[in-house]
Amino acid sequence: MEAYLGIDVGSVTTKLTVLDKNDELVTHVYLPTQGKPINMVQQGLRQIKQQLPEDVNIGGVATTGSARYLAGVIVGADLVKNEITSHAVATLQYVPQVQTIIEIGGQDSKIIIIRDGVVIDFGMNTVCAAGTGSFLDHQALRLNMSIEEFGQRALDSNTPVRIAGRCTVFAESDMVHKQQMGHRIEDILYGLCQALVRNYLNNVGLGKDIKPPVVFQGGVAFNQGIVRALQEELDTEVIVPSHHELMGAIGAALLVHEEMARTDNGSQFKGFGVSEIEYHTSSFECKACPNLCEIAQLSIDGQVLARWGGRCDLWERSPVS
């Protein structure tokens, strides 16, 4: 069995997908990153191996996400791709006519504008948490409910209250104030969904030409309250594809399949055995220029395997001993 592995290591979740030679999804793993990207990649590899037949041949591996370089060194990636490209390729596979991709993850969000199958513009928010899933998770925890219950109860709202959603601190204090005033929890929850959508469109989507078909993906797309708020704000249908939470990893696998078919080289994949190796990460401050970049490095038994993180490629191109 010929297969292609895509790994998307985000700040909140780690996703691994395996596609067959026809680009059909064979299996996947979805794990919380918990600030331990190496451990989660290794755990994901162990789980993926158990789900695949013994005769599987991994014909190519690609990594994406915020820890894509780290994951790429660990697994021996044939391709390391940015999230914009990975998400766009996966979405075009499932919704070929897509013109706007809205992706909201745990700690960042992005918008991708596509015309005639080509990415022509994009925007990202990696700074403000008010438009991300981690903020919703925190509020669900504060209200003692699961994030699934949060989404369902938000749909029961008939008269949502307006929540100040420009900042997480103000939004939370506004929610507490509305609770003290006696508003229904359902109306507060949906008001928060509307606030998150407004914040997203006024920041990430500012100045973007949002045209249908609109596809919504990322972990937050599980929340039906956000889906409804998006549809109301944009006044159009919002498509949530199956496996929307895996799109980055699926896109990476699609890209590496195409890459390996074009180059006809063998894969650099180090094998599932890397899940048992003990790696060490550290960092240091580069003093080569006034930027003082923090350089991360990965090592095993004292031997440095890779360095990255600078504004230039000084450490990436320096020989690693």
Same domain, 229 and 265: no
Instruction: Note whether 100 and 236 are same-domain residues.
Output: yes
Looking at the domain assignment, is residue 172 inside a domain? yes
7 falls within a domain = yes
Closest CA to 30 of 218, 216, 271: 218
Q: Using H for helix, E for strand and C for coil, what is the string for 139-204?
A: HHHHCCCCHHHHHHHHHCCCCCCCCCCCCHHHHHHHHHHHHHCCCCHHHHHHHHHHHHHHHHHHHC
Please indicate, yes or no, whether residues 197 and 308 belong to a single structural domain of this protein: no
Instruction: Spell out the residues 6+ positions from residue 87 whose beta carbon is closer than 8 angstroms to its own.
Output: 101, 103, 110, 112, 217, 247, 248, 251
Domain shared by 133 and 177, yes or no: yes
- For residues 85 and 91, give the distance between their C-alpha atoms in angstroms, rounded to a whole number: 10
CA distance 35 to 215: 29
Query: pTM of the predicted model, to two decimals?
Result: 0.86
Per-residue pLDDT of the chain (321 residues; tens, 9 = 90+): 899 999 999 888 899 999 999 999 999 999 988 888 888 999 999 999 999 988 899 999 999 988 888 889 889 999 999 999 999 999 999 999 999 999 988 778 899 999 999 999 999 886 665 567 777 888 888 888 888 888 888 888 888 888 876 666 677 777 787 877 888 888 888 988 888 888 888 888 889 999 999 999 988 888 899 999 999 999 999 999 999 999 999 999 999 999 998 887 788 999 898 888 888 888 899 998 988 988 888 888 888 887 877 778 787 665 554
For residue 28, give its domain range. Answer: 2-86+248-276
Q: Residue 254 falls within a domain, yes or no?
A: yes
DSSP-derived pairing of the beta strands 57-64 and 2-9: parallel
When divided into structural domains, the chain yields a total of 3
Six-digit token pair at 224? 């039906």
Does residue 91 form part of some domain? no
